[in-house]
Every structure is written in structure tokens, then in C-alpha cells.
Amino acid sequence: MTVPRSTLRLQLHKDFTFDDAARQVDYMAALGISHAYLSPVTTATSGSTHGYDTVDYTRVNPELGGEEGLRRFVEKLRAHEMGVIVDVVPNHMGVGGSENLWWMDILEWGRHAAHARYFDVDWHSPDPALRGKVLAPFLGAAYGEELQGGKIKLVFDADAGRFKIEYYAHTFPVSPLDYTSVLQDHAPEMARRFTGLSTQPGDQPRADEARAALKEFAATIEGKQAIDTAVQAHSGDNPVGRDRLHRLLERQHYRLAWWRTAADEVNWRRFFDVSTLGGMRVERPEVFEASHALIFRLFTEGLIDGVRIDHVDGLAEPREYCQRLRSRLEELAEYRPENLQNGRTYFVIEKILARGEPVRDDWRIDGTTGYDFMNDVGALLHDPRGAEPLAESWAELSGRSADFAVEAEAARRKILSENLSAELDRAARALQRIARDTPVTRDFTYSSLRRVVAELVVHFPVYRIYPVGGQRSEDDERFFSQAYEAAKAALAPADLAILDQVAQWLGGLGGDEAVEEKPRERERLLDRGKDRERDRQAANGQNQNLQANSAGSNSSGSHRRNAQTLFSQLTSPVAAKAIEDTACYRYGRLISRNEVGADPGEFSLSVDAFHAGNLERAKRFPNAMLATATHDHKRGEDVRARIAGLSEIPGEWAATLRSWSTLNTPHRRVLKSDEHGWAPGAAAEAMLYQTLVGCWPPTLSPDDQAGVKELAERVSAWQLKALREAKLRTGWFAPDEAYENACRDFLFDILAPQRRDGFLGELPAFVERVSRTGAINSFQQTLLRLTSPGVPDLYQGTELWDFSLVDPDNRRPVDFEQRRAWLSEGEAEGAPSEQLKNWRDGRVKLGIVRRSLALRAHAHSLFEQGAYVPLKVEGAHADSVIAFARHVGSAYAVVIATRLADSLLAENDTGLPLVDAAHWGDTAVVLPEALASRALFDWLSPNAPKSDGQRLFMRDALVAMPVALLMEEGVPRV
């Protein structure tokens, strides 16, 4: 029960609650889902549409229906013998507004607050204005401007007996220590109650007593008048009041600031560069227990069966966190209801993996949430022969680099300098503290350390490393050395010794060994006037003499661990922001490869490499999730599948791009104030065309004005986000609204009704040209997800065509009623192949999902425990087929899918996404010997092909559908 057979991800929010989800349980069960997979259920910021901005870990979100709503939902699931997995967010909490009481506590009491060590705050900032304070970068404009404009106000909350600072929706507490100064001229008796208070924990209860008295006083006419007068004395409407308010604010445990200051000055860890999400110190036992208490109770009571951990790479110690969580779940499992005390608790993590980066064996997890599989199957859809010509075409058209690595490095440098500068400073300061511990390294300057760290981060090939006992593992070393060599080539000779030392401090072998000081050699090494080559030789010669040497004090070990953590908590957000949120919006060879968890520089994946990935997963993490769509994807799975088809026709696509660019030249907007000259610009225009080709619904007619306008609105929202994320001609920090509006006007102009004889006519015609290839790609990735080793995850609504774009488009409401009706019709009408003639409405995809999940339920041991057996494909079109078998005991399931089908479809005039049987020629799959000359039944069609010995010809196996799921027994009658 606890290890899912399949999951369906549901995005919960105030407009789709537990009760709404409960109404879909019977549909989910009929589809073949074993576990509901929920977005975060802890209390989030009011109105949150995603739930990742938790403000209270201790309560089930009341906007979702609260705990009672969750219980009703789980009761419905249990009635269908289904389980539930919840998304847990240990890395960060929402800190905007005033709903997070833990955050309000540290704003009120500073470093002595009960929750001061819950958040990852640097209370010892080198900036005197932030020492012992928290930067509060929530102002919409500069502090002085907002203060002058009266936007920042002192108010009194009569219900709570508290003074607060209000700024629009944000509320900030006033320290009780300052109540005396606020009240002394207007309510001296009340002021004396707060006199002598300190921030020490022992004084905080006395402050509560004083505020209770103040609340009573405020309820009197005299008290209300006095407090109103005190508040008015701090009004920003006049110079005296404004000065008094400013001085009051300066005494608080926070510093109000313009949101733009965060990138350079924030002194607490954020989620990436989002200043409304504060990093948690979940590595501390008390924080771990407090932030997971609700989840543990729900698990113990049998209300949840497993967890998905969000952004594990943000944590200080991911390995230790996962091990601790597994241990706690195992301890609690014996207290669960008896009928649920079976099997291993399901536990997966959200983790982005680079090619060749392994999931660590000692984390005690079931695997990842499936971005690695999504990357593999996505790359598999691309024809490698299109890589070079498409890159050349992109470079020629856009004027940008053909090499994604160039864009990635530029984006990393930009993110470090503009978005995460404060985080880079903090990592460099941590290393400087180590350097100051010993005479041999104390002259390593902050600036030089910062340069070295920056180069390492810029060239880091993975999200982060995971040192054990302060030392890098063999896997870590493999990736760190890549960054080291690239940094070494980029740095000046005088910095190379510092690079070597930093490499040791960040987990190199021998990093704790004491070294002998050699001042003269050190002086010679750092002499900037020396010859470059001699500097390099000197640096190389001194490496062993300048190794980490902080074993002389107990604090140095702590400093080193802190530096390693800060470095890892820097490489991770830089990779995410630079690659996913910047470079992927700049590089447009084919945007189907610009996806979360993917490397756009890796264009395609061979069948053999795909098989190797599946074999590795089957061996090490057989219960890992398999995803092809998520709440974070940039393009729906079917958008990517269709765009991938362009890789098969690179020349035709390049000519189409040039033709459309010429056709739409009159609609470009010329911006006199813009040095680039026109909007949207060549690169943005080319990526727009790819997006339109990818997301145009198969059933949309250019004559449907309302439908075209709705699509244009959706694409416009994507376009705005894409332009800002690219950070080239506009951005989130400094939006160029004139440019953005011109881009929107261009989009709506080329899709205007009067363009039906122009671009609006050509676009759907081209979509029709590539849509069958896209559909076959979709069927391929769907079937591979449902039959590969692991737990297939279905993102809400994607059982039909998924032509969504980046969030919030991919989180739009799902029409479950339509899916429910079509599912019932499909079951009555028979195999998915019966719907192939209506493939444009997506029902055939729904049928593939339903029948594949039915087989997983029918032969669960085959897919849960069965071996993965790659099958050889022979014949004229062997490159256009992928095949494998799942095998346990005497049972086999054979999976076959058409791929790279465009050339095979060229002569097919049926209009179906199906290769004519005659075109396959002698192409055949070589079956396992046990299946030789046996009849196999297709779960996706009435077909029952028989092999010729061990050879199963595609002209027989793929006669009714472009994919096949074969067993020796047919679909059981219900």
C-alpha cells in the first residue's frame, strides 16, 4: 500500500480543495491510480495558488478545508483502497505579509527570539546597519521615498495590544522595548510598564503582561485618545513625526528596505532569489521536529502514506536530513493503524541531476520525483541529425551563440553579480574567517576569495556536492574537479594558490592537515609583478605547502563546515536561476530541450543510452517516480513532443522560420528609444514561433476568433515571463514596459483575424504538417513512462493533450468531468486504437494511460519487481523503433514504440499518426527466446501479432497503433 503503483499529482488551493479532490477519487480509481499525490497541505500564505509559501507548519491549510477536509478526502481514498502522498517543504517558509508567527517573532525580538535560530539568518553581518538585524526588503520603492510619501505607518492593534508598522499588506512588529518611547509623552503610566525590558527570553513574558495591560487601557476612552495621539506623533505627514518614525524604525530588529536591495544586502538565506521565502535551518533538531510535527502526526494516524520532499538541495545537509526523516518514519510506522502497517514508507526527493550524476545510495530514499526520467525520455524524442543544422540556423537567425554552454556561463555570471551577490559575499566571508585562523593564509583577502568562489560557482557542472565528514566523495570530486580546472584557466596566476586552498577547505583530501609556513615562498608566489609562467609554476609548486590548515582550533572545523554549506547553498540557486530561469529563455535551438532538469546543450539521447538509464534505475531505485509533466514544467509534455518533431526536419523548419520572419516584418514594432531597433527582436521572435507551433491545439480553427484570442492571451503571459526571465531587453528588476507592450502587440497582430490569409493561415497548416509526428512522440513518451522501471506519475489533466505553458498556465483548472465522461465511453468502446481516428481530441492518449495502468494493476509484480530487458531492433527502419521487455518468472510484457517517424509518415495519406504497415519493410524486434513463435495480445488494440521465431515484424505489431503493449494474455474481461 505504501509504495505506489501509480500517482496522480493534484494542485490544491482555495478553488480546488480537499472536497473538490474527493469528488475525483472515483475517476482516479477508474483511471488506475493507486495514490493521490498532493501539493503542500500545510498552511500557506492566504490565497496561495501553489502552497510552497508555508506560514504555519503546524496546521493543515484551512483554505484547503483544514484537517477535517483532509480526513474526508482520505476516507474517500481508503474506500477505493488508495493512498496519499504529500509534498513537504522543509527548505523555506513564506515571510512576506504578517501571517508567519515564527518570522514575526524574530522581527520583534531579534537574535533572542524563540525562533531566531529557526531561520538561516546571519546575525553578524559586516554591515553595521544590519548587525543584529534582519533586512526586510519588502518596500516597493526606496525607503526614504516611501517614508516621505507616508506609505510607512505606525499603527496600534487594539485587539492584540501591540504597536505595529504597516506598509500596504505587510505588517512589522514594534519591539516592546520601544513602547516606552512611543508612550512616554502621552501615557506615562503605561510607558513605565515597559521600562527596563530587555530582549532576553526571561523578559519576554513580562512584555506580554505589559501588553495585556495596554490592551485594557486602550479599551478606555482616555486610553484610546492617548494612544491615538502617540501614533499621530509618529505620522509621516509632517517632518517632526516622520523623523520620530524614522528613529523608531532604526531601533527595530529589522531594517526596512527597497526590494531591490535584497540581491546585494540580504543577510538571510532565501529560496533562490525570492525575498518572500526565507530559508529554514532544518538541520537543527528542534527545527526539524517543529517543522515536521504535523506531517509525523498525520502519518502516524494513517492520513498520509508517503512524502515528497521539495528542493532538498537547499538544505544544509541533504544526506543527514533524508536519513533522519527515514528513521523517524520507520519509528512511527509501528504506531500507524494496523491495516496500514505494511511495506516501506514511500519517500522521494525533488532533485535535479546532471548527466552522469548519481542519486546517492546512502540517503535512504526511494528515488527522485522524476525530472531525470523526463530529461531522458525528452531527449530520446529528438533526432540527433537535427542538432547541428538547427544550432547553425538559430545562431544565424538570432545573432546569438550556437553553443548553449556560452549562454549558460554568461547567465551564471549575471545571476551571481545581480541576483545572488549577497549570497556570494556570505560564502566568501565564511572562507575569509577560515583564512584568518592561521598565519599562512591570513593574507588571503576577501576580494581574492570572492573571485575564486565566483569562478568555481560559474563553472560548477551540478547543483551541488555533498561532503561527508568534511571531505568530498569520489562522486563529488569528479564534478568539483571540472569546476576547479575551468576556474584555474580563468583566474589570474596570483589567485591560483588561493584556488587550491579554497578547494581544500571545500572538502579536499588533506584539508585538515597543518602546514609549515613559508613566508618568503608565499611572498614570491603572490608577487603580481612576476612573469605569468613563473607565477603558474610557483603556484603549482606551493600547492602542498598551502593546504588547509585550520586544525589548530575547534572553531575552524565549524567554520569549514559552514563554508562548505554556504558554497553548496550558492551553487544550487545559481544553477537553477542561471540555467532554468535565464539561459533556457535565451537559447532557442529547439525549446523542447529547454526544460527543468534538462541540459539544452544535450540535444538528443540514443536508444542505448535510454536503456542504460532504465537499467540503472531498475537496479538502484526501482521505486523512483517517472514524470513527463510537473507543476514546474516550462512547456506541457505534448508541446515538447511536437516541437521535438522539428528535429527531424531541420531544413524545412529553418526555411519556415525565415519565411514567417519575412511575412511578419511589417508587424514589428520599431522602438526609437531602443538601441535594438525593433520588437520583439530576432531571437524572441523565433522562440515565439516555436511556442505557437508547439501549443496550437489540434482542434483549433483559425476562423475561431474567440479560441485564437484565448490562445493569444495564454501565449502572451508566457511571452512576458520569457522576456523577463531572459533578462536581456527587460527583466523583473527593471521592466521595459514599452518593449513588453510592443512584443504583446506584435503577437496579437500576427494572430489577428485579418491575418487568416497570411500568418494565421500558415501557422495551423504547418502545425498540421508536424502534429502527427508530435502525437507519435507523445504516445511514445506516455507509454515509456507507464512501463519503465519506477512509479509513473500523472500530472493533473495530462491524460488528455497537455498543451500548457509555464506556470501559472500549467496550473489551470482541469475539466475532470470531460475526462470522466470520455473514460467511461472509452471503456465501453474498447481498445485505445478505436479512438485513433479521433486522435486530435486526445482520447486515444487517455486510453493508453488507462489500459497501461490496468496492466500494471493486473500484473503488478511484473512491473514492480520485473527485470528490464532491452530488445534489439533490426531491419531498414530500426532507428525508428524502441523496444524492451519487462520480465518476472515466466511472465513477459513487451513494449514497442514508434520514434523518429516523420519520414515514414511522408507517404501516409490517411491523416493518422500511424506508419503504414507496408512502410516498415523488414523492421523487426528480436524477442526473448521464451516468446519465440508465440501469439502476443496487445493491450492497446485488438491486434494479436505472432512472431516469426524470435522476430516480431513491425508491420504486424504496429498495424493498429504506433505503440504496442504486448503480453501472452489479453485484456481481462471486467
What pLDDT digit, counting tens, does each position of 159-215 carry? 999 999 999 989 999 999 999 999 999 999 999 999 999 999 999 999 999 999 999
Q: Residue 452's CB: how many other CB atoms inside 10 A? A: 25
Q: Please state, in angstroms and rounded to a whole number, the distance separating the CA atoms of residues 662 and 866.
A: 55
Q: Is the pLDDT of residue 496 over 90?
A: yes
In the predicted model, what is the mean pLDDT of residues 816-844? 92
376-408 burial code (b ≥16 CB/10 A, e <16):
bbbbbbbbeebbeebbebbeebbebbbebeebb
- pLDDT tens-digit readout, 909-959: 789 999 999 999 999 999 999 999 888 999 999 999 999 999 999 999 999
Q: Which of 150, 214, 224 is nearest to 178 (CA)?
A: 214
Q: Which residues pair with 94 in a beta bridge?
A: 277
For the chain, percent of residues with pLDDT exceeding 90:
90
- Exposed (0-12), middle (13-18) or buried (19+): which is 356, by Cβ within 10 Å? exposed
Question: How would residue 642 be classed by pLDDT, with cut points 50, 70 and 90?
Answer: very high
Q: Which residue has the higher pLDDT, 611 or 338?
A: 611
- Is the per-residue pLDDT at 530 higher than 60? no
Q: What is the pLDDT of residues 76-122, one digit of tens each?
A: 999 999 999 999 999 999 998 899 999 999 999 999 999 999 999 99
At residue 518, the pLDDT reads 36
How far apart CA 799 and CA 797 sit, in angstroms, is 5
Task: Give the burial class of 258: count Cβ atoms within 10 A of its Cβ; 0-12 exposed, 13-18 middle, 19 or more buried.
Answer: middle
pLDDT at 104: 98
Among candidate residues 763, 576, 769, the one with its CA nearest the CA of residue 688:
763
Do residues 896 and 883 touch, judged by C-beta distance below 8 A?
A: yes
Q: Which of residues 528 and 267 earns the better pLDDT score?
A: 267
pLDDT at 909: 77
The amino acid present at 111, given as its one-letter code, is R
H or E segment and range at residue 496: helix 496-505
Q: Which three cell numbers stand for residue 49?
A: 495558488
Q: Is residue 535 pLDDT above 50, yes or no?
A: no
Q: Are 393 and 654 in contact (CB under 8 A)?
A: yes
Instruction: Give the tens place of pLDDT for each residue, 285-300.
Output: 999 999 999 999 999 9
Say whether the peptide bond before residue 680 is cis (omega within 30 degrees of 0): yes
Q: Which amino acid is at 14?
A: K
Residues 6+ apart with CB under 8 A from 427: 453, 563, 566, 567, 570
CA dihedral 352, 358, 361, 365 (to 10 degrees): 20
Q: Which one-letter amino acid corresponds to residue 752?
A: A
**925 three-state secondary structure:** strand
Q: Give the pairing of strands 678-679 and 669-670.
A: antiparallel
Per residue in 445-471, pLDDT (tens digit) is 999 999 999 999 999 999 999 999 999
Is a pLDDT exceeding 80 seen at residue 907?
Answer: no
pLDDT number for residue 341: 76
CB 608 within 8 A of CB 425: no
At 281, the amino acid letter reads R
Which amino acid does the sequence have at 365? I
Sketch the domain layout of the chain as residue ranges. 7-91+280-369, 101-271, 376-386+595-769, 406-580, 815-967
Reply yes or no on whether the pLDDT at 550 is more than 70: no
* Residue 523: predicted pLDDT: 42
Burial of 718 (0-12, 13-18, 19+ CB in 10 A): buried
pTM: 0.93
> Is the distance from CB of 173 to CB of 110 less than 8 angstroms?
no
Q: CB under 8 Å to 171, separation ≥6 — which residues?
A: 97, 98, 164, 165
The pLDDT of residue 543: 41
Nearest-angstrom CA–CA distance, 588 and 407: 11
Q: Is the pLDDT of residue 639 over 80?
A: yes
Ramachandran assignment for 507, one of left (phi > 0), alpha (psi -120 to 50 degrees), beta (any other): left
Would you state the cell numbers that stand for residue 917, as one nine-digit string?
Answer: 504497415
Which pLDDT does position 177 carry in this prediction?
96
pLDDT in tens, 841-871: 999 999 999 999 999 999 999 999 999 999 9
Is residue 361 scored above 70 in pLDDT?
Answer: yes
What band does 1 get if pLDDT is binned at 50, 70 and 90? low
Residue 674 has pLDDT above 70, yes or no: no
Residue type (1 letter), 26: D
Using one digit for the tens of pLDDT, what is the confidence trace for 390-419? 999 999 999 999 999 999 999 999 999 999
Alpha-carbon distances of 322 from 326, 349, 616, rounded to whole Å? 6, 9, 21
Domain 7-91+280-369 has CATH 3.40.30.10: no
Radius of gyration of the chain (CA): 31
pLDDT at 321: 98
Of 434, 409, 691, nearest to 552 (Cα)?
Answer: 434
The pLDDT, as a whole number, for residue 554 is 55
Please give the pLDDT value at position 676.
63
Domain at 101-271, CATH homologous superfamily: Maltooligosyl trehalose synthase, domain 2 (3.30.1590.10)
Which three cell numbers, joined as nine digits, stand for 728? 536581456
Q: What is the C-alpha to C-alpha distance for residues 211 and 224, in angstroms, rounded to an integer?
A: 14
| Average pLDDT taken over every residue of the chain | 93
pLDDT, residue 528, reads: 35
Give the pLDDT score at 510: 57
Residue 544: pLDDT band (50, 70, 90) is very low
State percent of the chain over pLDDT 70. 94
Domains 7-91+280-369 and 101-271 fall in the same CATH topology: no
Which are the contacts of 371, defined by CB distance < 8 A and separation ≥ 6?
350, 351, 352, 353, 596, 597, 627, 630
- Please spell the DSSP secondary structure of 26-50, one letter per residue: HHHHHHT--EEEESP-EEESTT-SS
Distance CA 810, CA 940 (A): 28
